[in-house]
Structure 1
Amino acid sequence: MAQYHAKLSCEYNLTMGLSEELVMTRLTEEVPYELAGMRLDQALAELFADYSRSKLQTWIKSGRVQINDAINISPKTKMDGGEIIILDAEAEVVITAEAENIPLDIIFEDDSILIVNKPAGLVVHPAVGNWNGTLLNALLNYVPGLDSLPRAGIVHRIDKDTSGLLMVAKTLPAHNSLTQQLQERSIVREYIAICRGRMTAGGTVDEPIGRDPADRKRYMIRMSGKEAVTHYRVSQRFLRHTLIRVKLETGRTHQIRVHMAHIRFPLLGDQVYSGRFQMPPNCTERFATTLRSFKRQALHAAKLGLKHPVTEEYLEWEQPLPFDMVDLLEALTENDNQ
């Protein structure tokens, strides 16, 4: 999907030390043939799930939507499949946060990049409900010049309750280089996860992911979603759980969590995608206590590899499991050996 951002000259202060910039976004998509026969407004809701259907209908009527370069079109226009749709999305909000003195676990740093070990529970970027206390706030305090870069140099995210390695650009050329490497899928990102269920072998999940239309905070497998490819292999089997290593080929929101739940091996502790909590039968008291107290998905970004933006040398870092996942694995092992 092609897109551009054109900043408008409108910036103003908000409460809580935040500011906003208005940003115009152009999005281009080809209508999949499986949407043939669907109305334009319905197809847009599938293709651009980040926006509400009422907003998309408004944009159609105001001429913000083009089909094969035609502008004056009706929301009821039927799709044949294969059409090229261009959507000039209404200005969206980009949040600029204030610096905060929050400790950072720096794994590597030079003049171009910063590699951070993010603890579970730390939000990466400010959003509704988390305007302060984020990784971005901490980065602005640690490297004041980052306020001139998109998202303070953050080029990818990991979920709030996922721990592990995350890369940050300190200069605009470095930001452009890392973004390009992500698009080319040349950056190595490997995770360690604990799944519910005993796997027999590893494999690959190649299923598109999009927002859940019934709950915009969730994602799901959708044919109209974005391509998502996850490779996984078994590291250790337990009676009712499996320790796996996961390699991302793409980087969609909640990708590992959605894909593992899709193949019926949801991540242990995932309160969004693993369904109702169930205590395994005949488990030890320690394992039961550990499991009840583990309030996040058992997912850790363990390895990160990239080409340095300046030297072009390949660099790679690994970060061991945090204490809570180590404790969980020990409890699993003891439970199996009872």
Structure 2
Amino acid sequence: MSEVIEADFIIPLSLGEQRLDRALAELMPEHSRSRIQGWIKSGAVSVNGQVVRPRDKVATDDVVSVHAEVESQERWEAEDIAIDIVYEDDHIIVLNKPAGLVVHPAAGHGSGTLVNALLHHYPDIAKLPRAGIVHRLDKDTTGLMVVAKSLVAHTSIVEQLQTRTMGREYEAVVTGVMTGGGCVEQPMARHPQNRIKMAVHPFGKPAVTHYRLIERFDAHTHIRLKLETGRTHQIRVHMTHLHYPLVGDPVYGGRLRLPAGASEEVAEAVRGFKRQALHAKKLTLIHPESGEEMSWEVELPEDMLHLLAMLKHHQSEV
């Protein structure tokens, strides 16, 4: 089974003027330098969009992009984990992912993931690339995902993602009071100092997020978002870039903000929200076999409904 490695790195000051292969080996210590050299020679690595040689030097703030395929030596185990299926046929599964569920096995999460669950319920899915996973939601983001059950579906959905014809709409609660909707069109890449974070960067990959207001509160806003692209942490980074970070976001959330004069109950609802308040509400795609446009929508999870109820309650009291 092969695995596609996709990553973008901004070269930090400490690795400026290093050879590309050495710098990338520092940034990707889980891969050998000889493997990385092979990727560079095959054209799977670019610097600021240009294919270069292993010995070429990189400069601080260069963006190094990796798109390589490797054979996975790991066999993922099937696990009896419940899945909330919204729709299923011979080609696709549409599911409602809960908070806390990691989508794909990785370092630190070799079991208990959506892939482990899929292998239990659909053993044949092991024959597909990445066990049918064609897009992801962050561990603590809830909502709709589509999984391919056939190679035809896998190919079709990947193409729809690449051509931006698959519709994905989200709802979120952000800190701060927005005055109107808009569009964020800011390229993104890996953060130069913190590998678990993404950042807006001029040499990053294009990223486009549309947003509109649903309801404003004293110190927060309930918004709807639509993605044109699907970069890692895209909504979370783009909203933080606008200075409206998602409530509860442990990575990009910044300083906690409470409504003025908030009761203890309202304060606890905001303070106690320990994940990013983000939900994949609606999914639209072209069915890979029939060519029919299909769409699904799921209600917000209980924790977000409670958070919104508390913000509305405070609003009605002031």
Letter aligned with residue 326 of structure 1: L
Cα distance between partner residues in 1 of 2:149 and 2:41: 35
- Residue matched to 1:75: 56
Alignment partner of 1:99 out of 78, 81, 85: 78
Where do residues 257-272 of structure 1 align in structure 2 (5 Å cutoff)? Answer: 257-272=236-251
1:188 aligns with 2:167: yes
Q: Deviations over 1:33-77 (max 9, x none)?
A: xxxxx858469969x99746x977995599737698886x74348
Where do residues 1-338 of structure 1 align in structure 2 (5 Å cutoff)? Answer: 41=19, 51=28, 59=36, 64=41, 74-76=55-57, 91=70, 93=72, 95-338=74-317
SS for the counterpart of 1:167 is: strand
Task: State the shift of 1:322 in Å.
Answer: 0.8
Cα distance between partner residues in 1 of 2:234 and 2:207: 7
Task: State the shift of 1:132 in Å.
Answer: 1.0
1:198–1:135 distance in 2 versus 1, CA, 3 Å? same
Task: Answer with 195-204 or 276-285: which moved more.
Answer: 276-285
Task: State the shift of 1:95 in Å.
Answer: 4.5
SS for the counterpart of 1:260 is: helix
1:200–1:26 distance in 2 versus 1, CA, 3 Å? closer
Letter aligned with residue 56 of structure 2: P
SS for the counterpart of 2:206 is: coil
Task: State the shift of 1:23 in Å.
Answer: 5.9
1:334–1:174 distance in 2 versus 1, CA, 3 Å? same
1:236–1:315 distance in 2 versus 1, CA, 3 Å? same
Hey, which of these two has a bigger chunk of strand by percent?
1
Cα distance between partner residues in 2 of 1:26 and 1:115: 24
Q: Deviations over 1:205-241 (max 9, x none)?
A: 1111111121111111112211110000011111110
Cα distance between partner residues in 1 of 2:268 and 2:66: 51
Q: Any stretches of 5+ residues in structure 2 without a counterpart?
A: 8-15
SS for the counterpart of 2:235 is: helix
1:177–1:24 distance in 2 versus 1, CA, 3 Å? closer
Letter aligned with residue 243 of structure 1: H
Q: Deviations over 1:290-318 (max 9, x none)?
A: 12321111000000000000000000000
SS for the counterpart of 2:140 is: coil
SS for the counterpart of 1:194 is: strand
Aligned CA RMSD, in angstroms, stands at 3.5
Cα distance between partner residues in 1 of 2:136 and 2:277: 17
Aligned residues: 303
1:45–1:333 distance in 2 versus 1, CA, 3 Å? farther
SS for the counterpart of 2:190 is: strand
SS for the counterpart of 2:189 is: strand
Q: Contact 2:175 / 2:257 at 8 angstroms: preserved in 1?
A: no
1:205–1:151 distance in 2 versus 1, CA, 3 Å? same
SS for the counterpart of 1:244 is: strand
SS for the counterpart of 1:192 is: strand
1:55–1:221 distance in 2 versus 1, CA, 3 Å? farther
